[in-house]
Structure 1
């Protein structure tokens, strides 16, 4: 009788503990914010990178670039915009399908150099993210049926007698790219997409961009450039 009584008590205790254990098993969310560190931050950065929001190295440190990437994701997905990866933000993030477009296969050093040249010419004074964004646009054009299918072809495309990119007209396309522009070109070729599917950009301070504004969808602004898809 004593053994049965002990067994009964153990069963009752197990039944009571199961729901509690289940709660903790499902509650594996950790809020991440500026200055957070560790493997969960690395995982967050990797996911943001796969979606084209984060273009820096995976270092497990929630710095300004990671915070800005989270803010851009929150903006695009109509979440609370605070730069904090809370449960709502992480749920939306990890449920997203990766959207990194395939880069030109087996790109050559020539491809890399020309992409770096247009990045330098168009965004030499922009932030690193702004440089990668210009590369993102060029790669999107290469992958689109509406434009030439090579980097060189996209850069030197003309509409009538007018080149698509002003650096081709003024000759700055031939300037030597900086190391940062070279790295931005590499990241763009490897799939970084800070401006998603954008295929157009312009600087509102230097050009009206009337046709783009009327015919394309605004994506975002990075530095002096506005990007449209």
Structure 2
């Protein structure tokens, strides 16, 4: 009887080990993976992305555009640096999350983020080029992923500093204006990983505001349409 139990335990352990070979839970050394990377490390990464609902593709071992977008989505959802690269921070966060995203929660969060992001994009950049709309949306998400600002899209938009809203549409009430289809699409693109402009967390229209504090304390990045962007 004891011999039989031992055989059962041994067989169970063998099966468990074989199953774990498919997806490594932890890696002792994190090899930075990015667009163009290939191999077993990419396969492992893709399997985890698939298991958590971020990648709707096969684990082919090729770090292409779909894998890059999946990584960006994961980084946005995890509030970590968003760069489309699976470095140590991204991999350790991904491999140490045992619970997959719930479908209903994911849909609810996405709908809420889309609702507010499309409205701030519309209110701030209705007359701006599409690239400018994407950039405004990215400023919001870059703030969400920064430790210096609130951790949600709505929280960032409605943040106050010394009793003053950080975004003028909140003070003016235009944040509640129904957004155009173009603004909604821009919000969708941003939420789906279109970085537009990386790292920028501030912007303003120099024809309407001096932005003295931003100019003196932040690093200028670029100008798109009527807006200048700073990091």
TM-score tier, shorter chain, comes to 0.5 to 0.7
- Any residues of structure 2 matched to 1:1-20 within 5 Å, and which? none
User: Which residue of structure 1 aligns with residue 208 of structure 2?
Assistant: 206
Which deviates more, 188-197 or 141-150? 188-197
Q: What CA distance in whole angstroms lies between the structure 2 residues aligned with 1:201 and 1:178?
A: 21
Counterpart for residue 153 of structure 1: 155
Q: Contact between 1:123 and 1:130, CA under 8 Å: does it hold in 2?
A: yes
User: Counterpart of 2:137 in 1: which secondary structure?
Assistant: helix
Q: Partner of 2:173 in structure 1?
A: 171
Report the Cα distance in structure 1 between the residues aligned to 2:77 and 2:189, rounded to whole angstroms: 12
| RMSD after superposition | 2.0
Question: Residue 228 of structure 2: which of 201, 226, 229 is its match?
Answer: 226
SS in 2 for 1:103: helix
Distance 2:173 2:154 in 1: 15
Name the TM-score, length of structure 2 as normaliser. Answer: 0.55
Larger CA deviation: 100-109 vs 186-195: 100-109
Distance in 1 between residues matched to 2:161 and 2:121, nearest whole Å: 21
State whether residues 143 and 156 of structure 2, in contact with CA within 8 Å, keep that contact through their aligned partners in structure 1: yes
Q: Distance in 2 between matches of 1:104 and 1:131?
A: 21
Match of 1:131 in 2: 133
Tell me the CA shift for residue 194 of structure 1.
Answer: 1.9
From the superposition, tell whether residues 100 and 227 of structure 1 become closer, same or farther in structure 2 (CA, over 3 Å): farther
For 1:181 and 1:194, locate their aligned partners in 2 and report how far apart those are by CA, in whole Å: 14
Larger Rg: 1
Secondary structure in 2 matching 1:108? helix
- Higher relative contact order structure (alpha carbons within 8 Å, sequence separation ≥ 6): 1
Could you tell me how far apart the structure 2 residues matched to 1:163 and 1:195 are? 23
* Contact 1:104 1:139 (8 Å CA) reproduced: no
User: SS state of the match for residue 216, structure 2?
Assistant: helix
Structure 1 gap ranges (5+)? 1-46, 48-96
Answer yes or no: is the 8 Å Cα contact 2:190–2:196 preserved in 1: no
Q: Which runs of 5+ in 2 are unaligned?
A: 1-34, 36-67, 79-105
| 1: CA distance, partners of 2:163 / 2:223 | 29
Aligned equivalents of 1:133 and 1:104: distance in 2?
19
Distance in 2 of aligned mates of 1:104 and 1:208: 34
Q: Distance in 2 between matches of 1:222 and 1:129?
A: 7
Q: 1:114 aligns with which of 90, 113, 116?
A: 116
Q: In 1, are the aligned partners of 2:133 and 2:183 still within 8 Å (CA)?
A: yes
Task: Give the corresponding residue for 2:198.
Answer: 196
